[in-house]
Structure 1
Amino acid sequence: MYLTVGTFLSLSLLADAAAPKYCPPLGPVFPPPSNLCQNDGWAKVAKGISATIEETLKQVQHDSSIVNVNSTSFSFEIFSARDPSPLLSYAYTAPTIKNATTGVRHVDKDTVFRIGSGSKLWTILLLLKEMGDSVFSDPVGAYVPELLEAAEKFRHNKTAANDQANLMRWDEVTVGELASHMAGVTRDYGFMDAAFQPELMQAAGFPKLRDQDVPPCGETKACNRKDFFEGLLKSHPVVPTGGTPVYSNAAFQILGYVVQNATGRSYNDLVRAELIDRLGLNGSYSSPPDPKLGIIPGDVRSSMWGLDIADETPAGGLFSSTRDMANVGRAILNSTLLPREMTRRWLKPVSHTSSLNMAVGAPWEIASYEEDRVVDIYTKSGDVGSYSSMLVLSPDHDVGFVVLAAGDSAPQATRILTDLVNKALIPGLDKAAKKEAQRFTGDYALEDGKSHMRVTTDDGPGLKVTKWISNSKDVFSTVIMPALGVKKPSQIEVRLYPTGLKSPRQISFRAVPRSLKEMPGFGPFSNSCTSWLSMDAQRYGNVGMDDIVFELNEKDEVVGISPRASRVTLRKE
């Protein structure tokens, strides 16, 4: 059976009709807001977030089992890629810190925290800047001699090649698999090994270890390169390469060696020169800085402030402030250090997890929120000692936020605060973007009145087309209704969504029709959003009938709209 373009379009649109929700393509439904600081809607959102944080602090003061606010401090900032000033800053200093004998006594956006595994994001940003993303496909042995030697042994040893349960297949591991936790590599070597608590483990029924089975490093000193690889090459794989995401700090220690070997420079020097100096970061360090710069719950040792993890720094050894973390987030959203096309490829999932609302990138932890549409939030969290960090980016809005916490309940405080902010932030940003998108709304027509479009906004996502006349013919009734298989104009709607493509004085959108007629659907094949299948499916003279471009003047004002298959530009009335 052969399908015509029209039949294919009809079938794909009918699939959309079964979805009980709006069905935009994945991505922004309005152009990202560009002037949030002067947006009345945003001011209300920011005020509401501050009030929610303060109310939550009052509530948890009476229930320290959730978050102990008497001993946990945090600093928080919302930022926009389009504005160097914070959209919202908030800092809380725990009572125990106000009387601290070491470190700061008042937390603000310049206070230095450990960021733990937030360091992994810096490592990948550095790797991409220095080596590009084509390196993700390279075998790791191409950059790490110890692993190349291990891979060669597998190639010449048939017994080893068949022993998948006991031996890691280093000949299969790529740089990209390490960056996205897809290599199946052990989580750590040495660090936090229970071998350093022999009495406790033997009391729990485990046997006494032989001396050669106790890591020679990881408790009182960090593992050097020699010790690390000797232990790593004896470690069992967790899962097959490319199988399922399994979090690994060891993978990022290896990535530190990759970028060092590729550039001939030490990791610490690269971080200083290529990230800290280039981005003008004044509160970030790759080894423990002077304690007077940071917040230190307890003391330097018990909080792990003073722990220098040396070669494992790429996995979790960096220090930073809220101001600096926000600047790193802006640099990612603005592609300050990377080409924009590379940033777009980077801000994508690599694998699902067993949770439908969580995916994994390199090294992103990607949370998906689904209300009127799906919004993917790119995050990187980190916990070490008394410290916790979270960097959150919303590429749909060119906005992000940072949470840094320190104290007894730092991880809980970070995650609760992240959820509280996201709950208000995403809808608030959509409203702010919709308000700015009012400049696209209005009536557009030719002078002869034979072609006319009316664009509005309503409670749904995107711009809504309520009238579309082409050469005196109603496009709704002549094209869209037959394709959707409906007979009444009240049973359809057409929405315009931005594509992210721009030219001088032009902004590109695509029209996505949707049937409002109830259709049967009870599973992913009959009840999922398939707009990605139907976009650009129906074409006229090699131009998509859904291809819409808004025209701008020299003042960046919207002055026209071009439904490009019609070969006309309608002027805004």
Structure 2
Amino acid sequence: MSDTAFAEFVQATAEKFGMPGVSAGVFTGGREIFAAYGVTSVDNPLPVDENTLFQLGSITKPVTATAVMRLVAAGKVELEAPVRRYLPELVLADEAAATEITVANLLNHTSGLDWNLIVETGEGDDALAEFVARLAELALIGAPGDRSSYSQAGFNLLGRIIEKVTGQTYEKAVAELVFGPLGLSNSFFTTGEAMIRRFAVGHELDADGNLSVAPLWKPNRANNPGGGLAASAADQLRWARFHLGDGRTADGVEVLPAQLLHRMRQPTVRLRGTSLGDAMGIGWFLREVDGVQTIGHGGSGFGQFAELLIVPEYDFAIVVMSNANPDGIPCNQAILRWALEHYLGLVDRDPEPIPFDAERAEEVVGHYEIDAMTFDITTDGKGLVLEVLVKPEIRAASEQEIPADHEPFEFGLLPGDGDEYIVTGGAFKGQRGFFSRDESGAVVGVDLAGRLFKRVS
């Protein structure tokens, strides 16, 4: 596969989806191949290349997990230890949960914590401490260890554990534990560090359907451990190559013992009905593609989207980053799938939904919620539609401007028990989820992107 073919596909795909800018990189056959398209901003355009910083959102989570594993290797953290060993001040809505949640529960999203707490705790060094101090306001979706439900709040807690154990801010600790040893010289958490380098901004559709620069560039500081990283494609491939290796740098210096590094990609909990993966490792989603095991993570925020996928069996990795909502996800997905097929011969296909069934549809129609969002399912008698919205009170109370809501999505139920589904249209096309039932068989919740929305009506 020629480098030109990759670059041509990235350009054609970026143009198809209307992306201002895309940066992508592939590691294959022992070498790195980069392709870039477009500009950093429609207002102040600069060419995008492999060194341009993009906001990576939740791709930050494996970085936080690796920092924790370095502390495990040093004997400073135990995975099965209760969080309160390191944060005795932790108070949750459920006292039993506060005493039972372990570090491992946070790393694989089995803590029982809801998605996140939408609060503003400032940009000072106490941002994470203040966030943790308010966690009693966050609902729990279940008991620790019962099931996996994606939680940004859980990774913010991990960030605070890192602070308490190292005596440093989360950002400085990660720089010393991860960025420095691995030579990640183009990976940052602060706007101040990014602004003196070339960086992409996100874009959202305005009222006229035109792309405009998103008003925010990154999440607030308390959310850095699960979503605050900005990095370049070149740094992300260097990061991926570390996770393809034996825990040593190119110079042979051990950063993490091989057994701990490889433990991160072993399944810790199975996942159901989600395109994120078949299982969670430690900070990584594990997913089988065409019979081959992969590890990876995606991320999004403020009009920027990123995907990182690693294929250990083939010593292969790909990163794709784009900077416009709502089509950044399908753009990245198309480039990722093309690379898997053309470099490795692996075909990543979506499952096909069953024909519309009115009786099954009536079982799932209703209103569902998490702490910050609502999830409504309706039917016109011919198909199913879901709409996810930020709660008006959350939007009104936020000190930061929240991106516009997505248009409703069509979706269909998948073969089997009828409790799994796939989005069939819109920006989230291909995203999968499932419905939860109580002991009587009634639908009581719905999962999307690993998050559990509980049924209200």
For the structure 1 residues 412 and 262, does the alpha-carbon distance in structure 2 shift closer, same or farther, using more than 3 Å as the test? same
Which residue in 2 is equivalent to 1:394? 311
Over the matched positions of the two proteins, sequence identity in percent amounts to 21
1:129 aligns with 2:70: yes
**Structure 1 gaps, min length 5:** 1-42, 61-66, 152-164, 192-216, 430-573
Give the counterpart letter for 1:93 in structure 2. Answer: G
Give the counterpart letter for 2:83 in structure 1. Answer: V
Measured after TM superposition, the shift of residue 105 of structure 1 is 1.0
RMSD over aligned Cα atoms = 3.1
Equivalences for 1:43-442 in 2 at 5 Å? Answer: 43=1, 49-57=6-14, 60=16, 67-69=17-19, 72-80=20-28, 83=30, 85-86=31-32, 88-93=33-38, 97=41, 100-101=43-44, 105-132=46-73, 135-147=78-90, 150=91, 169-191=97-119, 217=120, 224-225=127-128, 227-288=130-191, 289-290=194-195, 292-297=197-202, 302-305=214-217, 307=218, 309-334=220-245, 335-336=247-248, 337-355=255-273, 358-370=278-290, 374-408=291-325, 409-427=327-345
TM-score (norm 2): 0.64
Give the counterpart letter for 1:320 in structure 2. Answer: A
Measured after TM superposition, the shift of residue 222 of structure 1 is 11
Give the counterpart letter for 2:26 in structure 1. Answer: I
Alignment partners' CA distance in 1, 2:127 and 2:169: 14
Give the counterpart letter for 1:426 in structure 2. Answer: L
Equivalences for 1:17-36 in 2 at 5 Å? Answer: none
Measured after TM superposition, the shift of residue 398 of structure 1 is 1.7
For the structure 1 residues 417 and 324, does the alpha-carbon distance in structure 2 shift closer, same or farther, using more than 3 Å as the test? same
For the structure 1 residues 220 and 190, does the alpha-carbon distance in structure 2 shift closer, same or farther, using more than 3 Å as the test? farther
Q: Which moved more, 1:354-363 or 1:339-348?
A: 354-363
**Structure 2 gaps, min length 5:** 205-211, 249-254, 348-457
Higher normalized contact order (CA 8 Å, seq sep 6+, divided by chain length) = 1
Measured after TM superposition, the shift of residue 297 of structure 1 is 4.1
For the structure 1 residues 218 and 386, does the alpha-carbon distance in structure 2 shift closer, same or farther, using more than 3 Å as the test? farther
For the structure 1 residues 242 and 424, does the alpha-carbon distance in structure 2 shift closer, same or farther, using more than 3 Å as the test? farther
- Contact 1:168–1:237, Cα closer than 8 Å, also in 2: no
- Contact 1:49–1:421, Cα closer than 8 Å, also in 2: yes
Alignment partners' CA distance in 1, 2:149 and 2:273: 14
Give the counterpart letter for 1:229 in structure 2. Answer: V
Question: Is the radius of gyration larger for structure 1 or structure 2?
Answer: 1
Alignment partners' CA distance in 2, 1:349 and 1:92: 36
For the structure 1 residues 261 and 301, does the alpha-carbon distance in structure 2 shift closer, same or farther, using more than 3 Å as the test? farther
Give the counterpart letter for 2:189 in structure 1. Answer: S
Give the counterpart letter for 1:314 in structure 2. Answer: P
Alignment partners' CA distance in 1, 2:214 and 2:123: 13
**Aligned partner of residue 266 in structure 2, secondary structure:** coil
Alignment partners' CA distance in 1, 2:10 and 2:223: 35
For the structure 1 residues 125 and 91, does the alpha-carbon distance in structure 2 shift closer, same or farther, using more than 3 Å as the test? same
Alignment partners' CA distance in 2, 1:327 and 1:228: 32
Measured after TM superposition, the shift of residue 413 of structure 1 is 2.0
Higher share in helix: 1
Give the counterpart letter for 1:171 in structure 2. Answer: T
- Contact 2:117–2:137, Cα closer than 8 Å, also in 1: no
Aligned pair count reads: 327
